[in-house]
Amino acid sequence: MNIRKFALIAALGLCTAGSAWAKDYKVGQVEIDDLWVRASAPGQSNGAGYMDIDNDAKTADRLVSVTSDAAERVELHTVQTENGVSKMRQVEGGIAVPADTEVKLSPGGYHVMFIKLRAPFKDGDTVPATLKFEKAGEVAVQFKVKPASHNPGMSHDHGAMKH
């Protein structure tokens, strides 16, 4: 094994170990929690990421971009309903995070769109990404890959039950 491969494996191991210990991420006065994506279905080329952003600052901020090597492109999206039809739209200029407020990126609303996945998202894995805020700066995060059936509105996970 050459030095480059060893360094990459060691770095990935540290990222995974760090994500197991750290529940929250913080940059400036902005905390990010509950980052997740659903596992990919066969043939699925895109994926959506979700999270909670809590701005404890006295001034507003803005999530301006997300980058990740897990996809060819990453965009911030929202869902808009026009004439009874819901459509995803890219959010121009980022997602506003008002002062002393929590913003939830969740199914049916704001989300991170991973476009042209380089590999399927597999249940139990993590997806590394970097969030960039207008004022707070950048923070490296890990999205946890949850089962394709994950429904955040449910109070318990039937997937964990033994039948």
Predicted confidence (pLDDT) at residue 16 exceeds the cutoff of 60: no
- Look at the block and give the residue holding tokens 């400036």: 28
Predicted confidence (pLDDT) at residue 126 exceeds the cutoff of 50: yes
Q: pLDDT tens, 96-112?
A: 999 999 999 999 999 99
**List of residues 6+ apart from 45 with CB closer than 8 A:** 115, 116, 117
Print burial letters for 99-111: b (CB count within 10 Å at least 16), e (below 16): eeeebebbeeebb
pLDDT of residue 153: 67
Predicted confidence (pLDDT) at residue 14 exceeds the cutoff of 80: no
Q: What is the topology classification, in CATH, of domain 25-146?
A: Immunoglobulin-like (2.60.40)
- Residue spans of the domains in the chain: they are 25-146
Least confident of 19-23, 74-78, 84-88, 144-148: 19-23
Predicted confidence (pLDDT) at residue 10 exceeds the cutoff of 80: no
Predicted confidence (pLDDT) at residue 72 exceeds the cutoff of 50: yes
Mean pLDDT, the chain, rounded, equals 84
pLDDT of residue 157: 44
Report whether 31 contacts 54 (CB < 8 A). Answer: yes
For residue 118, give Cα distances in angstroms to 49, 145, 150: 15, 15, 22
Predicted confidence (pLDDT) at residue 73 exceeds the cutoff of 90: yes
